[in-house]
Structure 1
Amino acid sequence: MRARDLSVLLGVILIIIMLVIPLPGWLLSVLILCNITLALIVILVSMNTQEALQFSVFPTLLLLLTLFRLGLNVSTTRSILSEADAGGVVDTFGSFVIGGNPLVGFVVFGILVVIQFLVITKGAERVSEVAARFTLDAMPGKQMSIDADLNAGLISEHQAKERREKVENEADFHGSMDGASKFVKGDAIAGIVIVLINIIFGLIIGMVQMDMSFQEAINTYMALTIGDGLVSQIPAILIATATGIVVTRTTTTGNLGSEVTGQLLQYPKLLLIAAGTIFMLGFTPINFFLTTLLASILGLSGYLLLKQSKEPEVPDIEEEDQTESSSMKSSENVVNLLNMDPIEFEFGYALIPLADSNQGGDLLDRIIMIRRQLAIELGVVIPVVRIRDNIQLNPNEYRLKVKGNEVASGELLLDHYLAMAPDIDDDHIDGIDTKEPAFGLPAKWITEDNKDDAELSGYTVVDPPSVVSTHITEVIKHVAHTLLGRQETKQLIDHLKENYPILVEEVTPEPLATGDVQKVLAKLLRENISIRNLPIIFETLADFSKMTNDTELLGEYSRQALSSQITKQFVHDDMSLKVITVSGKAEKMIAENIQQTEHGNYLALDPESQQLIIKKIHEEVEKLSLQEETAIVLCSPAIRMYLKQLLDRYLPQVVVLSYNELEPNVQIQSVGVVNVA
């Protein structure tokens, strides 16, 4: 163990020894001086800390120092009552400090006790109690503020974690200080009781057992008792004062000395007023020389401070400019400019109330809910969304950027509502024609006066924050696979490893690297398949990765393993599903044109055949859209992947499923056939 660790352990053992074993006078003197030294160090440290958490060990230290001081009281009491001697330090305080008059010493001791108990300790105890209660009450608000800054992109995940830990530590510290302040109060009471015990029993022992006269017993035991009380109360007052300093200290940028002098002398003119007031007091019976001397010192100080505050600090400004210039020229500053936010939401100045909580904006809270919703729906952690205003945009315009590229944009009218109804065209509802940004539905911006009429006419009416939050949600769903990189995949793997370590070890780093797993997961997300059920996906990868390392095929196997999830996602509650099937001839055409290479398999179909298949599927999709059904093409597992790759270029919204991806109890109803005959 290190010497620092041993010092505390030996100190606790020494306290136990003092409570049990009598100590010689010279050792008591050394320990008393150590007690005074420790108290002095504690108060100096408390004055130089910038915030309370920099002295977080103070509550525990307060308990140890109180116990050490009480141990000294027990040892000195034992020596005083048994040997009428408690060492040179106690004797010095009992004779020299009190001037040989025990009554004067008793009065001085009583004043010190009153100061400590009624003034310092009582105030520190009350401040500790209030600070603890206010800190606990403020915790939820501070946590929400941290979450808001994190979602706004003002701070990183690491900074948010540090701030949360600081909030928790502050609550723990002030809660501990609330209890630790009781140690100081109890110590003051114990000091009074110990002095009374020493005086009463000292007189009894001196007069009964040692045959002293009353005056002799008073002079002997009163002097030793008061000396012992003084050497105990002086460090006790220092510790109590340190307690008050720590609990009343707010977070600052300097120590107590610099803050007190800086704030007390920040108004030099007031020193001149004080100097004039003190000088006028000299015309009363008060000593004219002393008042004039003090007024002169105050006046000179105020004049010098006033003159200093008017002088321009040119060197400091130049130095600051040089520092800023050198910082802009540094390579590190240029490197920081390369950082790019994964998701950015920018808006014009007219949309600032959306994000300003002081104006009732709740966009930050909505972003938090969107990230939670997508984590549940897709099984992927969406990065923080950096929200900022952009004066280059139109006042009502907003745009969403992913990895620096614009992926969506739109316009909002904050003083209007968006009314949507694709099959309704009510001319008496006045509004500004537009399109709903998330799904492209025809809509109108209407005023609040027309809101009730629009709802009665069958319109779906939503407010602007709901419009933009829905748009953000749908866009992020669409680009979720691009947000899942190797780093994010590694985080998902590490999270899975906490509960399924053996499963993860079977898959990665061998036979599949993190990049291979990322490609499989991104493939699933690209087709809006949730990867939240990672254990099933990894079970599939563990089974099939030994046979092939083609991530496209592994993705197909994973889809089949998630058949119950896919069934629940696309099939109706009555277990029926309307689909467009692919004829045997069309499937054979696709299967015969699959080219196998060392870099993977791909569909090598001639352009005429491609156009024919796409045309047939498009015709069937148009028929199905009239029935307001989701366009789903059902085919065999062997060609599903290649058919989807073909349709992605022209009909990306069409869902392509294989028979193996649906549960056996699903009632499939074919509403169209893709035939190439």
Structure 2
Amino acid sequence: MSALSNVKMPPWLQGLATSQNKSSLAAPIFLIMMLSMMILPLPAFVLDIFFTFNIALAIVVLLTSLYTVKPLDFMAFPTVLLVSTMLRLSLNVASTRIVLTEGHTGADAAGKVVEAFGHFLIGGNYTVGIVVFIILTIINFIVVTKGAGRIAEVGARFALDAMPGKQMAIDADLNAGLIGEADARKRRNEVSQEAEFYGAMDGASKYVRGDAVAGILVTVINVIGGLLVGVIQHGLPFGEAAQIYTLLAIGDGLVAQIPSLIISIAAGIVVSRVASEEDIGTQMVSQLFARVEVLYVTGGIIFGLGLIPGMPNLMFLTIGGAILGAGYMMARKQKVEGSPVAKAAKAEAEAAAAAAAAPPAPEQEEASWQDVMPVDTLGLEVGYRLIPLVDKTQGGELLKRIKGIRKKFAQEVGFLAPPVHIRDNLELKPSAYRITLKGVEVGMGEAFNGQFLAINPGMASGTLQGLVTTDPAFGLPATWIDASLRDQAQGMGYTVVDAGTVVATHLNHLISTHASELLGRAEVQALLDHLAKEAPRLVEDLVPKMVSLSALQKVLQNLLVEGVHIRDMRTIIETLAEHTVHTQDPGDLTALVRMALGRAIVQQLFPGTNELSVMTLDNRLERLLMQALAASGPDGAGIEPGLADTIAQQAAQAAQQQEAMGLTPVLLVPGPLRALLSRFLRRALPQLKVLSHAEIPESKTIRVTALVGQQPG
């Protein structure tokens, strides 16, 4: 014992013994076992064990497919299909060897399992066995396997066609801040895995069809070979040899064909189910027996057939009466649960319980300042059907998405937006929501929980069945569809999002649009405190010595109104510190800050390019506007109304041409005109950005694509 204890294990054996992932050895051992069955002779007892294991494996696979919620939950199914097929073929080889070598000794030569299938299932009649075996093979080969293979083929095609649309939807959610990089990577993997799964299922189904053909050929060969061996080698009479070897061959074929049929049915269940949050059993029961009218009509038909003379009356009357009784019980249950009396009794019981548990009501207190509730800066009100979207206990994801929106807004724009106060509002429609800013409604829409909004980005083909509407955030044409049409819509080029994403995207758009109104004095002070941690002297020298907090707030709001981010607070503070000694006018200071931020503004509008495609003013119009500005002042009140309408119309046409070419609509004007035209065109053309020549970096090249104010001809 001591000598053995001093023997050291090789490093590879130590690693194998201490491995945490013992299950990784299962596949190599299983493959070696299948090869051994093909090469080495097996005793009948061992063959019984493997036949029983094969049947158990088929049942496990079938039950797993029944309790699978979505196909990717059983992603290993194509491999399991291949391995189970190879196991059956290995068992066919091993059983064929023992049937031909030991078949003359009796019906139990190939083990008790083969004998039981040959005698118990088919009554010892090899003619009946041949017919049953052929029928099972036909069912497996022509019906189940062919149908499952076709569904897998179509599923793989639709999954591949829908992959670009799904990837675009993931990128859109990522860009909107609704999901993080990790979630986006996970969803991309799921999209690719889904396509690979259906492709693998399409290929794996060919193995099952080949297994069915091989089962027929192996059975025929076993019968013919058994007759030759029994008659020629062992001298058995032809009739006795035919009965022994045919029963053995048919029993062997049935033992292999029944598990094959079970696994084929499992494959059909996995690829034919529609994605849902319920397993297939719950779906079938809840949907097949959901309507009382169906049970009444079915029970009435069966009961009526039982009244016809010559029919098996007792059986039909019993089954029909049972179905009618089940329908009556279901209708009674629904009526009791939905009756006003039951609802009132339930509400009364709940109210009584709450009253018993509640402490005595205190005396009515005098009104105080505590009764004055401050107005929420940002508010989201939802109808009662949208409450699950904002309730953590019901799995609502909207709260998490709103946190992501605020974080992404802070990173991009440069300050932290106020929290969003969420509450339910019974005055709204059940599926409606309302977004408020300082107590005033700024956006409203409808989102149907459990359905998906298919948005047409302009490239979608075909129409979808559902409620036609528009995207509440950007006004694009859209349709509310059921979950079953999601993959079809993505394959047609639609961007498909759920109800929570619709609300979150609308909220994100409105927060970005009203960023200037969200920047209050508290947020400006928080910005200064944050900057003071890195550059305390810079902040101390500016506020309040050189510029007041309200003036700084006005400059920052002016930038946000025109969509300019204020992340670069250092540059803004330094520019103000340099120029506040000359002017305190917020408009002039905003223009100076914009020139300092010119490179960032241009980068925001024209990312990744040195050529700026812009619109400009016609020379005559430019001179006319400069004269009007000099005569009327910076407010531009002296511009003639007809000229103002012409400028607005031509600017709108030029902006549409820019967008049609895939370009950002930007109007380049002289510095003195920039604020005037930006303020004038902002209401009619919010997508148009107005830049001055002084804001363009010298390294950029300007390409004029349209002239506003040019005379025709």
Q: Structures share a fold, TM > 0.5?
A: yes
The AA in structure 2 aligned to 1:421 is L
Q: Cα distance 1:325–1:355, how it changes in 2: closer, same or farther (>3 A)?
A: closer
Map of 1:119 onto structure 2: 143
Q: CA–CA distance in 2 between the matches of 1:52 and 1:572? A: 54
Q: In structure 1, what is the equivalent of residue 333 of structure 2?
A: 308
Change in CA separation of 1:132 and 1:342 when aligned onto 2, cut-off 3 Å: closer
Task: Check conservation: 1:47, 1:257, Cα contact below 8 A.
Answer: yes
Q: In the aligned structure 1, how far is the partner of 2:166 from the partner of 2:389?
A: 32
Question: How far, CA to CA, are the matches of 1:214 and 1:9 in structure 2?
Answer: 44
* Contact 1:419 1:446 survives alignment (8 Å): no
TM-score (structure 2 length as normaliser):
0.53
Q: Does 1:4 align with 2:23?
A: yes
Of the three residues 407, 412, 426, the one matched with 1:341 is 407
Work out the number of aligned pairs and report it.
435
- Aligned with residue 299 of structure 1, among 295, 312, 324: 324
Cα deviations by residue, 1:498-547 (Å, 9 ceiling, x for unpaired) = xxxxxxxxxxxxxxxxxxxxxxxxxxxxx999xxxxxxxxxxxxxxxxxx
* Kept after mapping to 1: 8 A contact 2:655/2:665: no
Give the 3-state SS of the residue equivalent to 2:560 in structure 1.
strand
Instruction: Judge which range, 283-292 or 347-356, deviates more.
Output: 347-356
One of 259, 270, 288 as aligned partner of 1:264? 288
* C-alpha contact 1:15 1:71 (8 A) present in aligned 2: yes
Displacement of 1:268 in angstroms is: 1.4
Aligned to 2:506: 388
1:398 and 1:39, CA in 2 relative to 1: closer, same or farther beyond 3 A?
Answer: same
Please give the root-mean-square deviation of Cα atoms over the aligned residues, in Å.
4.9
State the AA in 2 paired with 1:9.
Answer: P
CA offset at residue 341 of structure 1?
3.3
Q: Distance in 2 between matches of 1:10 and 1:401?
A: 67
In 2, are the aligned partners of 1:90 and 1:224 still within 8 Å (CA)? yes
Alignment counterpart, residue 656 of structure 2, candidates 463, 473, 477: 463
Q: Which shifted more, 279-288 or 305-314?
A: 305-314
Determine if the alignment matches structure 1 residue 131 to structure 2 residue 155.
yes
Q: Specify the code of the residue in structure 2 equivalent to 1:425.
A: L
Match of 1:20 among 24, 36, 39: 39
Q: Is 1:289 aligned with 2:314?
A: yes
Distance in 1 separating the partners of 2:667 and 2:22:
58
- 1:197 is matched with 221
In 1, the alpha carbon distance for the partners of 2:27 and 2:150 equals: 30
Partner SS state of residue 355, structure 1: coil
2:85 — aligned with what? 66
User: Does the residue aligned with 1:286 lie in a helix, a strand or coil?
Assistant: coil
What's the offset of the Cα at 1:420? 5.8
**Alpha-carbon offset, residue 211 of structure 1:** 0.5
Change (3 A) 1:463 1:206: same
Matches within 5 A, 1:365-380: none
Q: Quick check: 2:616–2:667 contact (8 Å CA) kept in 1?
A: no
1:130-178 per-position Cα deviation (integer Å, ceiling 9, x unaligned): 1111111111111112222223333333322221111011011111111
Q: Kindly state the Cα deviation for residue 92 of structure 1 after the two structures are TM-superposed.
A: 1.5
Equivalent position to 2:62, from 27, 40, 43: 43
Distance in 2 between residues matched to 1:95 and 1:392, nearest whole Å? 76
Amino acid at match of 1:50: V
* Mapped contact 1:419–1:445 kept (Cα < 8 A): no
SS of 1:425's partner is: helix
SS in 1 for 2:178: coil
Is 1:76 the counterpart of 2:95 in the alignment? yes
Q: Distance in 2 between matches of 1:71 and 1:335?
A: 53
Does the residue aligned with 1:46 lie in a helix, a strand or coil?
helix
Q: Deviations over 1:257-282 (max 9, x none)?
A: 11110110111111011111111101
- Equivalent residue letter for 1:569: S
Measured in 1, the distance between the counterparts of 2:116 and 2:85 equals: 23
1:243 is paired with a residue whose SS is: helix
Point out where structure 2 has 5 or more consecutive residues left out of the alignment: 1-18, 104-108, 355-383, 414-434, 436-441, 446-469, 480-503, 524-556, 564-613, 630-635, 669-693, 704-713
Name the TM-score, length of structure 1 as normaliser.
0.56
Contact 1:419 1:454 (8 Å CA) reproduced: no
- Counterpart in the other structure of 1:632: none
SS in 2 for 1:281: helix
Aligned-partner SS, 1:23: coil
Q: Deviations over 1:54-75 (max 9, x none)?
A: 0000111111111011000000
In the alignment, what sits opposite 1:357? 476
Q: Which amino acid aligns with 1:388?
A: H
> Match of 1:569, SS?
coil
The verdict on how the C-alpha distance between 1:472 and 1:201 changes in structure 2, with shifts beyond 3 A counting, is farther
Structure number with larger C-alpha Rg: 1
1:55 to 70, 74, 80: 74
The more displaced of 70-79 and 88-97 is 88-97
Shift of 1:424: 3.8
Give 1:236 shift.
0.5
Deviations 1:540-578 (A, max 9, x none): xxxxxxxxxxxxxxxxxxxxxxxxxx9x827999xxxxx
Deviation at 1:113, TM superposition (A): 0.6
Q: Which residue of 2 aligns with 1:228?
A: 252
Separation in structure 2 between the aligned mates of residue 445 and residue 207 of structure 1, nearest angstrom: 113
Of 617, 630, 655, 1:421 maps to 617
Q: Which residue of 2 aligns with 1:156?
A: 180
Question: Per the alignment, do residues 323 and 163 of structure 1 end up closer, same or farther by CA in structure 2, a change over 3 Å counting?
Answer: closer
Structure 1 residue identity aligned to 2:265: T
**CA–CA distance in structure 2, aligned partners of residues 342 and 130 of structure 1:** 40
Once the two structures are TM-superposed, the CA of residue 219 in structure 1 deviates from its matched residue by 1.2
Taking the aligned partners of 1:41 and 1:334, their CA distance within structure 2 comes to 40
